[in-house]
Amino acid sequence: MCGIYGATSPHDSASLVALAGKMGAPIRHRGPDDEAFVINDRTMVGNMRLAIIDVDSGQQPITSRDGAIALVQNGEIFNYLELQQMLRAQGVKFDTNSDTEVLLRMYEHFGVDFVKHLNGMFAIAISDARTQTLRLYRDRLGVKPLYWTKTDAGFLFGSEIKSLLAAGLPRKVNFEAMHHFLSFNYVPHPLTMFDGIQSLEAGSRMDVTIDGQITTTQFWNLPTDNVGKDRSELEIQNDILTLLEDATNIRLRSDVEVGAFLSGGLDSSSVVGVASQFTQDRLATFAIGFPDSRFDESEFAQEVADRFNTQHTMTPFLPADINHWLKAVYHCDQPHGDVSFLPTYVLAKSARDTGIKVVLSGDGADELFAGYEKYPAYFSDLEKGKFDPANYFSSISLLDESTKHLLYTDAMRTSLDGCNSFKFASPIFDEAEELDPINQALYFDTKFLLQGNNLVKPDRMGMAASVEVRSPYLDYRMAELAFTIPGKTKLKAQRTKSILKDALVPMLGERLVNRQKQMFTVPVGDWLKGDLFYFARDLLCGNRATERNLFRADQVALMLGQHVDGKANHTRLLRALIAIELWFRMFIDDERIPSSLHPDDFFPQKAN
């Protein structure tokens, strides 16, 4: 696990040396153990290392023996031992025991399509002087991030947008991205809130020549053509369990101790249960407790910890921890409306404080197996056999187009006229049109929601604490298996994750498997009616926000007042607007990324 960055210069290499130091420093939290860069034929690739595999000898960048190829990666290749064994059988020699060297030898042996052999979470950059080409790869489901931009001075890339900004890139707001943020509650890929900066799509390779020519190739996609194979539900359950065991086991490969996040929900509990079978020592598990019983699952997390005899740590999330909102915005580089980022950071910091820098999580199962309550709520009203993508999109949107235009000032409304967020969703639904209705919805959420929001959370919040998060359910084989399973077995009689729950009952028991799902979030909506009211009022209705001329101050004040008075629940909208304003203050107003953060800089004191 690391942070990577780099650049090309079409004219000379001298400027790349100074650029390396600038681009690496802002992402030191991703790799505090080591840092280095290589300049290879007017291309620079750099790495900030979090040492997990081959701690002593696995430094990056790694170069070919003739010096023509330089490679860096962010992530882990979980099947690296099998790949290493395969190459050795063909006479390939290795100088280290690292998974990064396996990538280099695979590229030398198989060429640009070597990535199809990998099982892992990764963002990879390869400078190949033989072809004067920089190659970028992003893993199949988008677990690891990768951002890029092209300028007159060359091409820039990095694990976080901070690296690109540190290179001197102008900070121009992409207002279209903000418009779509208000639809999705996150900025949809490949856009970012910075004009000119994009994310590389999941499952893609980008080739960049020294003279600036860019070609993008998709090397993987979710399957859509083999759903409903003739298998019994018992066979499907066995397939799920067999794959979960293997996906978890290979994610325990590490030269440092591996722990696990444990919410007490089905997904993390099943990962802990499986991992406990493969660990000789007691597995370290980490949970969050909430003072509000509506969100607190610590009782169930403790029950799972007792069941599998883990070494368990529970950390309370306190109202004062709302100050981590600043850290969340800072580490995400752009606004996100999901406040569960905050307890995730506290959870990751708890693990790191005990010396753990690798954890397992249950991320991904909800999207693959229909785990959210929105699915039975939506499909219970759906006429059998019919599915309208536009209607589903509307049901999951934060704001529709008319409500956004009601919030906008006249200037914003004019500049964004004709901008419609469904254009991002429509092509993905087109890909899935042969699937059954439930799997069409899951296909969209797996390709879009996961990459845009739910995978951002464990990566950014884990890395903020220098912790690597590994998710067995996000093994690409599990995703491929999930889309061979008919939707009706995932959402059976309005029971979420039905087939997965049935598979896990023998391991976890009826009580843990079939209890009511709770949301892993923070009661910000209630706090906005109390201690956070003054903060929200001053932030959203004050002069700084009003002078941006983005949103009508009277409408924002009206919605805040309606929320406080209990006339309407505007929690999600207010969270989104707060995230936008904090982002503007941090990344645009100051025209710098702060080296340190303090809540008093942003959170006004309560009024007397």
Q: Catalytic site residues?
A: 2
Q: 């070494």: which residue's tokens?
A: 311
Q: Which strands sit side by side in the sheet containing 259-261, from one edge to the other?
A: 311-316, 284-289, 259-261, 358-360, 468-470
Establish whether the linkage from the previous residue to 335 is cis, with ω within 30° of 0.
no
Q: 């397939």: which residue's tokens?
A: 239
Instruction: Tell me how far the alpha carbon of residue 493 is from its chain's centroid.
Output: 31
CB proximity list for 202: less than 8 A, separation 6 or greater: 138, 139, 140, 141, 142, 189, 447, 451
Length of the chain: 608
Rounded Cα–Cα distance for residues 264 and 146 (Å): 31
Rounded Cα–Cα distance for residues 81 and 61 (Å): 20
Angle between helices 456-464 and 324-332 (to 10 degrees): 110
Q: Is 194 helix (H, G, I), strand (E, B) or coil?
A: strand
Sign, Cα dihedral of 109, 115, 121, 125? positive
* Cβ contact 337:580 at 8 Å: no
CB proximity list for 166: less than 8 A, separation 6 or greater: 22, 23, 25, 26, 593
In this structure, how many other beta carbons lie within 10 angstroms of the beta carbon of residue 26? 23
Q: 């207010």: which residue's tokens?
A: 574
Strand 34-39 versus strand 284-289 pairing type = unpaired
Strand 2-8 versus strand 43-49 pairing type = antiparallel
